[in-house]
Amino acid sequence: MAKTEVTSGGEIELRESRERTLFAAMSGLGFQSMSTMLLSYVLATMIAEFGLSSAAGGFISTVTNIGMLVGGIIFGTLADRYGRPRMFAVTVALFSLACGATAFATDLALVYFFRFLVGVGGGGEYGVIMAMVADAFDSKKRGRVNSYVTISGQVGSIVAAVAAALVVPVFGWRGLFLFGALPIVLAIWAHFRLKDSETWKKAVVERVEKPSIKELFIKGRASTTIRLTIMAIAQVAGYFGLMNWLPSILQSSLGLSVSGSSVWMIATIVGMSLGMIVFGQIMDRVDAKVAYAVFLVASAIAVFAYSFADSAILMLVGGAIVGFFANGMNAGYGAIVGNLYPVEIRATANNIIFNIGRAVGGFSSVAIGFFLDNFSLTAAMLFLSVLYLISLTCVLSLKTSRSDA
């Protein structure tokens, strides 16, 4: 009887630990997405206030993605060495405070600086979250669990849209960034409530060397790391390119206000969330290659077709379809990295791969601004379609064997 009680108590403790991990992961990614996406709703206003070109305005987003790469390099290895919860709290605190500080920027240089710090915190947090989830759940559930976590990022984007509609008309763009400091509450909670997983503790005891970036390129992992990085670049280029410019495109082409464009963005985000659920199910129940191949081909077609939308209803429905396929894939990266890399380098792998993708793919905001200034929306969308097809060639040659560690 005593043994049964101990086992039961251990199961309860494990379940509660998983629940706290899932809550932290969903809340953390949701708040990080919110803090990042707030920019998209006031980018046009900031461009006008600071007298910027579209390319210079797009660089505000790009510098955030560069910061994400820096944060990924720093906090990925720190999380693998010293534990996920501690680094989770630090990264959430960093992007929260930096987002709030953006409200007090007096010139473009300070905007760049604070948004860079938002990126450092957000980029560092991403790999920590994905490693926490991979540590807590086995490989047969990671696709679905990661889809739930990634959907929370879209909830964060919806919160950003609603906040923009409510805050900007009253307090302006500075008030919106001040609102973005709220996640500091989560950082404080995580500091006191999150604990290291038994999986990570065991890996720490058994490992011979400290985790490092070189581990991603030895023991036959180099080709996998390169292919996943190219895929991440294409994914991020589509995600941030569309999400940062769609509100401005809607405001200029349909004459919508910030509040009006937010409605269209919410429709796109709903499409993304449904796509993530479907993608996670296909990935776990069928195969990762099948899921990526279907969504990449559909994304290339949908993104290009979207450039021909010439009415409010077509932009609304088209945005949801583009979101479903192009950004539904976002649910898979944390899961596939968790499956292909062992526990002792999961945070490093997630942060390096995805944040290189963010840093390089983030230049799509500048590229799209260039295409819009000098060519057309069709040219900008064709650019993204080509990236999705390049990603398709990578996924078809990827070895997707699972690791249950």
115 in a structural domain: yes
182-220 pLDDT tens trace: 999 999 999 999 988 888 888 877 776 777 888 899 888
356-385 pLDDT tens trace: 887 788 778 788 888 888 888 788 889 889
288 in a structural domain: yes
Average pLDDT, the chain: 85
Helix (DSSP H) and strand (DSSP E) numbers for the chain: 15, 0
Those residues whose C-beta lies under 8 Å from the C-beta of residue 12, and which sit 6 or more positions away, are none
Q: What is the CATH number of the domain that holds 92?
A: 1.20.1250.20
Q: Given this model, what pLDDT does residue 5 score?
A: 44
Of the candidates 340, 58, 79, 33, the residue with the CA atom closest to the CA atom of residue 203: 79
Q: CA 82, CA 74: separation in Å to the nearest integer?
A: 12
Q: What is the dihedral of CA 209, 210, 211, 214, to 10 degrees?
A: -60
Q: With a cut of 60, say whether residue 35 has pLDDT above it.
A: yes
On the 0-12 / 13-18 / 19+ scale of CB atoms within 10 A, 16 is exposed
204 in a structural domain: no
97-107 pLDDT tens trace: 999 999 999 99
Q: With a cut of 70, say whether residue 401 has pLDDT above it.
A: no
333 in a structural domain: yes
7 in a structural domain: no
String of DSSP letters for 96-133: HHHHHHHTT--SHHHHHHHHHHHHHHHHHHHHHHHHHH
Of the candidates 360, 123, 328, 332, the residue with the CA atom closest to the CA atom of residue 241: 360
Q: With a cut of 60, say whether residue 4 has pLDDT above it.
A: no
Q: What is the mean pLDDT of residues 131-143?
A: 83
For the ranges 150-159, 180-189, 332-341, the one whose mean pLDDT is highest: 180-189
**Two tokens, residue 83:** 């534990």
Q: Report the domain count for the chain.
A: 1
C-alpha to C-alpha distances, 159 to 41, 49, 166, 268, 275, nearest whole angstrom? 12, 25, 10, 14, 19
Q: Given this model, what pLDDT does residue 6 score?
A: 43
Residue type at 53 in one-letter notation: S
318 in a structural domain: yes
| CB-based contact 58:111 (threshold 8 Å) | no
Secondary element (H or E) of residue 336: helix 333-340
Structural domain that includes position 307 = 13-192+210-396
3-class secondary structure, 389: helix
405 in a structural domain: no
pTM of the model: 0.77
| CB-based contact 38:177 (threshold 8 Å) | yes
141 in a structural domain: yes
Q: Given this model, what pLDDT does residue 237 score?
A: 85
